[in-house]
Structure 1
Amino acid sequence: MKRFVTAKLALALLGVAHVAMAQQGTSNGEWPHYAGDAGSTRYAPLSQIDRSNVKDLQIAWRWRSLPIGKSADTNLKATPLMVDGVLYTSTGLHQAAAIDPETGETLWVFTPEPKEIQGRGGVPASGRGLAYWTDGKNKRLFHNTLDGRLISIDARTGKVDPKFGVNGTVLLKEQLTDRPVPMVGSSSPAIVVGDVVVVQVVSEVTAVNKEAVPGHIRGYDVRTGKRLWIFHTIPQEDEFGVETWENGSWKYSGNTGVWTTMSADPELGYVYLPVETPSHDFYGGHRLGDNLFAESLVCLDARTGKRVWHFQIVHHGVWDYDPPAAPILGDITVDGRRIKSVTLVTKQAMSFVFDRVTGKPVWPIEERSVPQSDVPGERLSPTQPFPTKPAPYERLGYHEDDLIDFTPQLRSEALAIASKYVRGPMYTPTSRVIEGGTQGTWVSPGYGGGSNWNGAAFDPERGMMYVPTKNSPMIAALTPADRKLTNFDYVRATTATVQGPRGLPVVRPPWSKVTATDMNTGEHRWSRAIGPAPEHVRNHPDLQGLGLDFSSMGQTSIRPSPLVTKSLLFLGESGSLSGDPGGRMFRAYDKTTGSVVAEIELPSKSTSAPMTYMHKGRQYIVIAVSTRQHPAELVALALPGGRKPQGQSDPIPTIAGASRPVMNSAEVARGRALFAQHCAACHGVKGEGVNDGAPSLLGQNELEKVLYKVRMGGVQMPPMQTLLNDKQIQDISAFVVAGLPAR
């Protein structure tokens, strides 16, 4: 089999001009991209909130995510954008909304049709955000939905742009492949580079057969929705890399898309793709070869879709070790040389660092021998890439001294658990379940990370990278397939975290941590556990009286995203599905030393990446929280002061002397009945206001203002346009103005 250039680097034959170092991080107090800037640094050079006052943060406003019918949003993963004095967000039910950044009031709501969008396997849909574009005159939001639509929304009005695609929508299953495409979609936002919106799709989380839909990347005209180009992540006939798919497996293999977020360098005009594993994740006997461009970092010219360079971080993957987070762009100085770098954090807890112009590794990346598979039909790569710098963030592979040893008995039980699995160094192959024998392979770091979609943050002023990771071994196991159900030879038997003795983790703490790395030298500067041990560990009967320091053990199985400002690093202690597991705490760290300088308890567990912005001289930090029991909301933190959010305690403004409309008895009856059904629980049967955040409605005499408020909702009030028709909203509003007491 042909091997490509040393360390699998390929630089396309393109002339690359020198470009000045780009400004990194956000500017003008805005947050125009999912991760702050197009380079995904998650850095904002804001300093109003600092070490001296961060402990004084309080909730400035709360915005309840929007329901659709009887469906409540309980899984909000979105990070809002903030542009031109407006916040924009998607929701866990795939709506989009514009929000006042000072008060948290809803400005408009966009609900796609059909309204009910379900994820695969009936899991509620959850989008991570929107993409923004402007030419200085027009403003557009691009909404990449889980059911495979790219929708262009006018950012000013919340209405679709009828000139884009067909009635504002491009169907992403079209112009993708000649194969049948039952469904594609994405939970991650697209990215805009110039006048091109680059879109990723995911076809099937678990492919049923070896014939699956490929996840090719496409670029569309931001104004018309016309497809401009397509990049085949699985090379097609006569294309570069097609020979890495042996026996013609490129013709039917699928996935190999981008399920996470992408990054871009607008000055270079390049977009950086973290490409996922082919189907299926744990067996590749039907797709022998290195399988380019799977599990690779690929740099494309966003104007043409042409490959500039690529690097494959896993050859012929069978561990589900696809890149989980957006590549991070930053300018660093190494041995006196200024480099425009791109860093890819991985589930393997290793970081790969390249010159983002040429694709040349900043530090050597070594091809090292790895164990080989004994699964019939499988053939692994004899080597895998290992970066020499930075050092891994977690231990690689199985090590017996990593097992818990709080007591001799727990240690003995942990050893017995480990003996059930095939164990070995990094990249020990996925193995079969043997009756009476081993039950699969111990994979460490697990394929949930190391790093995951929460990614990392980069401080361009100091050249420091902040990388949250978790330490949680997982099981990769195969079993012979039932040929009545699939044409794979083997399917995965189980994908789960290795369970430790008596409900405890199987490995020693810390179970999660954040590490600061100087990217100018590749050296780690400090590392801190993310929070204390979870409650079930702190209260475990076998651990009482042992004198253990639970404060530095870290939460288990969490995925918090970092936010960096002038002097602080912020991290939650959750970030998983519906905020479970983890805790409610949101911490501020001194980014120089890693010491915790403040802890803020949120109303629920965090489920998104935080963002920050400056508006009217006040800095805000916004993060989504939700659990299955706590409906999703955005929470804005700020220092004391500022205007009180409307709708939380003040009545709706009125104008003295305004006339009150006249209603006939039928209209009064309809309005009263609707008010009793939808409004009285919070505002009282007489509109007097009974709950916190639900103001008195007495004395309202401006029908238009009441209509707007009822239709669009408020900080804690859902927009009734998602529940009622226009006539019902009119009846309720008229009843509030004419049917309730004047005072």
Structure 2
Amino acid sequence: MTKTISAIALFAATIAFAGAQSTSQSEWPVYGGQPAQDHYSPLARINRTNVKNLQVAWTYDTGEKGVFQPSPIIVGSVLYSYTPSQKVIALDATTGKLLWKFDSGIAGTQPARALAYWSDGTSARILAGVMNYLYALDAKTGQPIPSFGENGRVDLREGLGRDPATVSIALTSPGIVYKDLIIVGGRDPETLPCPPGDIRAYDVRTGALRWSFHTIPHPGEYGYDSWPKDAWKRSGAANNWAGMALDAKRGIVYVPTGSAAFDFYGGDRLGDDLFANTLLALDADTGKRLWHFQAVRHDLWDRDFPSPPALVTVEHQGEKIDAVAQTTKQGWIYLFNRVDGQPVFPVEYKRYPASTVPGEVTAAMQPLPTMPAPYARQALTEDMLTRRTPQAHAWAVKEFRTFRSAGQFVPFSLDKPTIVFPGYDGGAEWGGPAVDPDTGIIYVNANEMAWLGGLEENKSSGASGSGLYQQQCSICHGDDRRGSPPAFPSLVDIGKSLTIDQTRDTIRQGKGRMPSFPAFSDEQLDALIRYLQTGHDDKTELKSESGSSTETEKYNFTGYRKFLDPDGYPAIAPPWGTLSAIDLNTGKYVWKIPFGEYPELAAKGMKNTGSENYGGPVVTAGGLLFIGATNFDKQMHAYDKATGKLLWRATLPFSGNATPATYEVNGRQYVVIAAGGKDPRLPIGGVYVAFALPK
């Protein structure tokens, strides 16, 4: 359904839209600023000299709470974005006044990071993902366009070689527009069953499928022999959840992909598993592969490419090179010639240990760039443990000696936990980097957290509630249901906080980082909920055919677990988050600083520790780097892009875990960010805050 629009609001929307027919340098019309995904703006009205005078220009409170990570797009004087429940909104970009709101009637439970905009010069439409649907909305009114797909939407569950009713997919990052195409990926589950991560292009006018690229190759396609026979029928993921970049002049779309399902045990997908963990360069007109680079062969560590790549021109060894830069969770940056895929800096293949888990065969070698140096530490040693207090240090040392910590690409074992550092959330994450096209400097914010991982033999039957839990839920909530709060909540005593119906809805629809699980039969879901409520299986096992919709792995992941001290702080020494500036012409660092604080520790004198951070930076011709991102201090920051000096900051109503946008209307420059909060221990909301200089 759609929200009723008043005559006054519709008139205001029409007037605002009149200036939104063509994009210019004053706008922010694409996720990441422009298709190159460089997060760069040529605006300079706000600069090093006057940024200290920034003040709040307007706010818009969505009145909702939930996962809130959108980066708005701005065309003309209209700002388009989402609410936490994935309602699509259009605001007056100078006042924050609501122009229209589209409510699909679907309660969005997944992250929604941006929209896409298309115009032929006479009409324009917003292309919006709402869970598993891609909608085309009239940019002027917010009404669905009936001629697109079926009544204004395309169901992304269809056409993946699976029963659509059992498929979980959500468009969390926006598609990218090229000519009359909208090219999309999608977020898939990290356990089986799971759809393949096909990259698909739809006609922006009709919603018809124009081309599809199989990231798990079909017979006769390049890379088919890097998987077991007919793996595309059973394996899943290798999907683009992070977004894409586009070289519109050359007609090349750059698509980073994630790991294959199941993430942490690959005995059923032996081989390198192309095109998982791969940067793909595709012909944007046809979907034909032009070149590729696989950064992690046979991934067992959830080392997705976490963000869209950024396009930049660098000068290297006296030659100008049109390049594509890709950040990683590991803390590395890969830089390639964007035409032929040749690395700008050498990539070396190094040997790593074999797996000791029966049935697993790890890749013998993995590729590492020789430059730039990593922006996150690569191995955790005992001398790097926390010294926040003597007690915390003693605890960390005792625990650390029970782990295996040997750096990158160490396969998980069955005997003891393995340190993953940087952790599953990076290094870099989905916010993406910013690149200054004038200097070739890339700006990357990163996490430096240690996590644990391990495998255990799956002794549960898929024909029981506990077996279903181990197959589908333990990857996040642990084999003991205790999770790793706050990111992965405990499910022990879940009946005290959620009713049976609420639990059922959450499993069916997903929530936040949790995908939906439509493949469960009603009988399976009832059995799983009984197990979650009681911690025990019902005496009556499920019928064998009831388990046919879920896959049974030989080994379970023991769960995502941060290495935290007893007080809930990182059990390693700071920095726990960083912000780096790296010259891509030379591969050398310009500056690097801790990024973020814990307010309660800062009050006790423990400042500049860095903290976890989500959401990327924006760089401008005014000499500034704008970024929110930090989880706990709720700060919006402006840094001198040349030195890393903090020039201005403001406290947001909630942490700004999103990438900001900057734009200009009527000669006034604005910087806007979505503030919603991330840590469930702290207040959450859904507010847009725009800053500008005083009039």
For structure 1, which segment, 366-375 or 417-426, has the greater mean C-alpha deviation from structure 2 after superposition?
417-426
2:55 equivalent among 45, 58, 77: 58
Task: Name the structure 2 match of 1:160.
Answer: 144
1:76 to 1:501, Cα distance in 2 relative to 1, 3 A: closer
Task: Write the distance in 2 (CA, Å) between the matches of 1:187 and 1:132.
Answer: 16
1:520 equivalent among 561, 576, 585: 585
2:674 equivalent among 624, 630, 646: 624
Task: Write the distance in 1 (CA, Å) between the matches of 2:352 and 2:591.
Answer: 30
How far the C-alpha of 1:238 sits from its partner, in A, is 1.4
How far the C-alpha of 1:133 sits from its partner, in A, is 0.8
Contact 1:430 1:441 in 2 (8 A): yes
TM-score, length-scaled by structure 1: 0.76
1:264-298 per-residue CA deviation (whole Å, 9 max, x = no partner) reads 11111111111011111111111000000000000
**Residue 598 (structure 2) pairs with residue 534 (structure 1):** yes
**Which ranges in structure 1 are unaligned for 5 or more consecutive residues?**
1-25, 118-123, 575-580, 642-743
How far the C-alpha of 1:561 sits from its partner, in A, is 1.4
Task: Write the distance in 2 (CA, Å) between the matches of 1:53 and 1:478.
Answer: 54
Secondary structure in 2 matching 1:550: coil
2:384 equivalent among 402, 422, 443: 402
Residues paired across the two proteins, number = 579
Task: Write the distance in 1 (CA, Å) between the matches of 2:409 and 2:600.
Answer: 32
Matched letter for residue 458 of structure 1: V
1:500 equivalent among 562, 565, 588: 565
Contact 2:577 2:613 in 1 (8 A): yes
Q: What is the root-mean-square deviation in Å for CA atoms of aligned residues?
A: 1.7
Task: Name the structure 2 match of 1:586.
Answer: 636
How far the C-alpha of 1:605 sits from its partner, in A, is 1.4
Q: Percent identity over the alignment?
A: 38
1:38-90 per-residue CA deviation (whole Å, 9 max, x = no partner) reads 0111110111111111111111111112x5xxxx3333211111112211112
Matched letter for residue 638 of structure 1: A
Matched letter for residue 596 of structure 1: L
How far the C-alpha of 1:361 sits from its partner, in A, is 0.6
Secondary structure in 2 matching 1:250: helix
Contact 2:628 2:658 in 1 (8 A): no
1:472 equivalent among 431, 441, 449: 449
**Residue 442 (structure 2) pairs with residue 387 (structure 1):** no
Task: Name the structure 1 match of 2:324.
Answer: 342
2:624 equivalent among 568, 571, 579: 568
Work out which of the two has the higher radius of gyration on C-alpha atoms and give 1 or 2.
1
How far the C-alpha of 1:176 sits from its partner, in A, is 2.1
Matched letter for residue 469 of structure 1: A
Contact 1:78 1:128 in 2 (8 A): yes
Task: Name the structure 2 match of 1:102.
Answer: 94
1:151-208 per-residue CA deviation (whole Å, 9 max, x = no partner) reads 111111211111111111111111222555433222111111111110112232x42x
Secondary structure in 2 matching 1:551: coil
How far the C-alpha of 1:27 sits from its partner, in A, is 4.5
Task: Name the structure 2 match of 1:9.
Answer: none
Task: Write the distance in 2 (CA, Å) between the matches of 1:56 and 1:50.
Answer: 10
Secondary structure in 2 matching 1:503: coil
Task: Write the distance in 2 (CA, Å) between the matches of 1:191 and 1:55.
Answer: 35
**Residue 417 (structure 2) pairs with residue 450 (structure 1):** no
How far the C-alpha of 1:408 sits from its partner, in A, is 5.5
Contact 2:91 2:97 in 1 (8 A): yes
1:283-342 per-residue CA deviation (whole Å, 9 max, x = no partner) reads 111100000000000011111011111000000000000001001111111111111110
1:408 to 1:183, Cα distance in 2 relative to 1, 3 A: closer
1:579-628 per-residue CA deviation (whole Å, 9 max, x = no partner) reads xx421211111111111111212222112110000000100000011236
1:409 to 1:633, Cα distance in 2 relative to 1, 3 A: closer
1:298 equivalent among 280, 283, 292: 280
Contact 1:605 1:626 in 2 (8 A): yes
1:583 to 1:176, Cα distance in 2 relative to 1, 3 A: same
Contact 2:392 2:571 in 1 (8 A): no
Task: Name the structure 2 match of 1:37.
Answer: 34
Contact 2:47 2:624 in 1 (8 A): yes
Task: Name the structure 1 match of 2:552.
Answer: 487
Task: Write the distance in 2 (CA, Å) between the matches of 1:74 and 1:243.
Answer: 43
**Which ranges in structure 2 are unaligned for 5 or more consecutive residues?**
1-22, 468-550
Matched letter for residue 253 of structure 1: S
How far the C-alpha of 1:401 sits from its partner, in A, is 2.5
Task: Write the distance in 2 (CA, Å) between the matches of 1:328 and 1:371.
Answer: 32
Task: Write the distance in 1 (CA, Å) between the matches of 2:186 and 2:160.
Answer: 10
Task: Write the distance in 1 (CA, Å) between the matches of 2:52 and 2:650.
Answer: 7
Task: Write the distance in 2 (CA, Å) between the matches of 1:354 and 1:81.
Answer: 28
**Residue 74 (structure 2) pairs with residue 86 (structure 1):** no
1:123-150 per-residue CA deviation (whole Å, 9 max, x = no partner) reads x33311100111111211101122x111
Secondary structure in 2 matching 1:153: strand
How far the C-alpha of 1:536 sits from its partner, in A, is 4.1
Task: Write the distance in 2 (CA, Å) between the matches of 1:452 and 1:536.
Answer: 25
Task: Write the distance in 1 (CA, Å) between the matches of 2:457 and 2:643.
Answer: 51
How far the C-alpha of 1:409 sits from its partner, in A, is 5.0
Task: Write the distance in 1 (CA, Å) between the matches of 2:237 and 2:222.
Answer: 18
Task: Write the distance in 2 (CA, Å) between the matches of 1:97 and 1:282.
Answer: 39
Runs of 4+ more than 6 Å apart: none
Contact 2:616 2:660 in 1 (8 A): yes
Task: Write the distance in 2 (CA, Å) between the matches of 1:399 and 1:420.
Answer: 13
2:402 equivalent among 395, 399, 420: 420
